[in-house]
Chain A
């Protein structure tokens, strides 16, 4: 049973806020839902499915959010696999709609990470989750950035990847942010700027790391048939994939990440090839996340990521445009940013991106990475098309 083109993204909304000490978490989420429903031409009365999770919510937070919105949906999903969750939620919503469990499903995320002063990447070493696996890690000072840094260190060792090559990713994201009025950091930077920024966890510099902002966003997912009658041109869901990677009982290859499996599944299910992808939204928690993801999704061979990201290839007007909104490295990263990957990919496929619009964009890929790349993490891939 193929899901391809049976469902569509009918509405999207990225909350314009980047710092909102005056708003509650649920307010940001609810305003995002309102925005996405307006975009689709639907109302809250049409919604009978909800997907939500977040760093600011409790484990049962989705029920609390239904209370806030006085919503009594037929389908709920609160899968919590880190920043990629919302890419996975999109897939789950599509499957639920296709199976008849609901008709209109909203995927929503919000966070006040910046105004609540969460030290997301460098606050590690606390109590951990309490899971058995954490007991062998928390005594040694693990941080989110440190876990990604250890993947970068190994990549550099095995393949001669350089800090300059990683920096090119940050420079390109900032160029894109300079064309996005909502982006938090819009002044362009150079490779030298990245290399001159302080080391947070070697070999990663400050400017290799995503920013911390407030923010939120929402998606409206419905059947392809219904989407065709709505306000905006439908963006069809062609294929999805998700999985996790971890320490593998102490026998993991650190350069193989979840994207290898989730990407293969998404391509197989979508029935498209790598050369068909016109632009991609690649979760950029850190520069190494992008390089490693591109290799594991199969856009270049293992070890060739450094060369692949160089020479402007990833620019909006380059050979393989990614993260045209400026990404988590420059636009916004409110704790998790999977939802923004789907939002920007949808806007690109609709041709709504103004100066940063990718020409002739028909098929886009969004890949979310959640958790910590050097150990337990998730990957969720989504392939979308306007045709």
Chain B
């Protein structure tokens, strides 16, 4: 599926990867999902950033996630005029609350719009959209 997507030329927006967020995106390419935890105060944060928002410490531990969580909220989009998405409607966007306690925006895949429910257990799937970028999406837990 990934090759097909590339063959068609991937037209959705891609993240800007810089030195601060590169470890996170590289882990996704290895099919590993991480959140950060402050070594000083223990506060867990997502998205990844250089310092703790609670105590401003730079002493950061990367926590490998189980890849499981629950749908916190979602929406099925029927109108988006942006290139790439215009051709993909309807698609489901969701905030998944990871077992590690943070909510992340993602897409629900392998899930019909009428199947999507708040509280539904989901698991991560990795979609290689370009040679440089893999995305963490979620599907109903099996």
Interface residue count for A (Cβ, 8 Å)?
43
B-binding residues in A (CB < 8 A): 119, 122-128, 130, 132-133, 135-143, 145-146, 149-151, 153-154, 157, 198-204, 247, 249-252, 254, 374-375
Chain B count of residues within 8 A CB distance of the other chain:
48
Determine the chain A residues whose CB is within 8 A of the CB of B74 once the complex forms: 150, 153
Q: Which of A127, A140, A198, A252 contacts B103 (CB 8 A)?
A: A252
- Cβ-defined contact, A124 with B82, below 8 A: yes
Complex: A310 Cα to B135 Cα, angstroms? 42
A138 touching B15 in the complex, CB below 8 Å, given contacts A150-B74, A157-B118? yes
Q: Could you list which residues of chain B lie within 8 angstroms of chain A, going by C-beta atoms?
A: 12-17, 20-21, 35, 43-47, 49, 53, 72-82, 84-85, 88, 91, 93-95, 101-107, 113, 118-119, 129, 133, 135, 137
- Contact call A141/B75, Cβ cutoff below 8 A: no
> Are the CB atoms of A139 and B82 closer together than 8 Å?
no
> Does A125 contact B102, Cβ atoms closer than 8 Å?
no
Q: Closest Cβ of chain B: how far from A156's Cβ, in Å?
A: 9
Asked, given contacts A125-B84, A140-B93, whether A247 binds B103 with beta carbons under 8 Å apart, the answer is yes
Bound Cα distance from A143 to B90, whole angstroms: 13
Residues of B within 8 A of A133 (CB): 47
- Are B16 and A149 within 8 A (Cβ)? no
Chain B contacts for A123, CB-based, 8 A: 80-82
A-B residue pairs in contact (CB < 8 Å), sample of 25:
A122-B79, A125-B12, A127-B13, A132-B20, A132-B47, A135-B15, A136-B47, A138-B14, A139-B13, A140-B106, A141-B12, A141-B77, A142-B105, A150-B75, A150-B95, A153-B75, A154-B72, A200-B78, A201-B77, A202-B78, A203-B75, A249-B43, A250-B102, A251-B44, A254-B73
Cross-chain contact B53 with A249 (CB below 8 angstroms): yes
CB nearest to A128 among chain B residues? B13
Assembly CA distance A154 to B70 (angstroms): 13
Question: Are A250 and B47 in contact, CB atoms less than 8 angstroms apart?
Answer: yes
Give A134 Cβ to nearest chain B Cβ, in Å.
8
Chain A: CB-nearest residue to B107: A140
Say yes or no: A199 contacts B78, CB within 8 Å.
yes
From B93, B133, B137, A142 is in contact (CB under 8 Å) with B93
Q: Is the CB of B14 within 8 A of A139?
A: yes
A200 to B119, CA, bound (A): 23
Complex CA distance for A149 and B116, rounded to whole angstroms:
14
Question: B14: shortest Cβ distance to chain A, in Å?
Answer: 7
Minimum distance in angstroms from A136 CB to a CB of chain B = 4
Least CB distance from A257 to B in Å reads 14
Nearest Cβ distance between residue A373 and chain B, in whole angstroms?
A: 11
C-alpha gap A203/B74 in the complex (Å): 9
C-alpha spacing A4/B34, complex, angstroms: 49
For B137, the closest partner residue in chain A by CB is A140
B9 smallest CB distance to A (angstroms):
16
Give the Cβ gap from A212 to chain B, nearest Cβ, in Å: 12
> Closest B-chain residue to A153, C-beta based?
B73
Q: Which residue of B lies closest to A148 (CB)?
A: B75
Which residues of B lie under 8 Å from residue A374 when comparing CB positions? 73, 95
Given contacts A141-B93, A154-B72, A202-B76, contact A125 B16 (CB under 8 A): no
User: Bound complex: CA of A144 vs CA of B7, how far in Å?
Assistant: 30
Shortest CB–CB separation between residue A201 and chain B, in angstroms?
5
Query: Which of B17, B74, B133, B135 has the most CB atoms of chain A within a 10 A radius of its CB?
Result: B74
Inter-chain contacts of B16 with A (CB < 8 A): 130, 135
A267 to B46 CA separation, bound complex (whole angstroms):
34
- Which among B20, B76, B104, B133 is the interface contact of A136 at CB below 8 angstroms? B104
| B13 and A201 contact, CB distance less than 8 A | no
- What residues on B are CB-neighbors of A199 within 8 Å? 76, 78
Nearest-neighbour CB distance to chain B for A121, whole angstroms, equals: 9
B19 to chain A, nearest CB (A): 12
Are the CB atoms of A249 and B72 closer together than 8 Å? no
- Which chain A residue has the least Cβ–Cβ distance from B92? A202
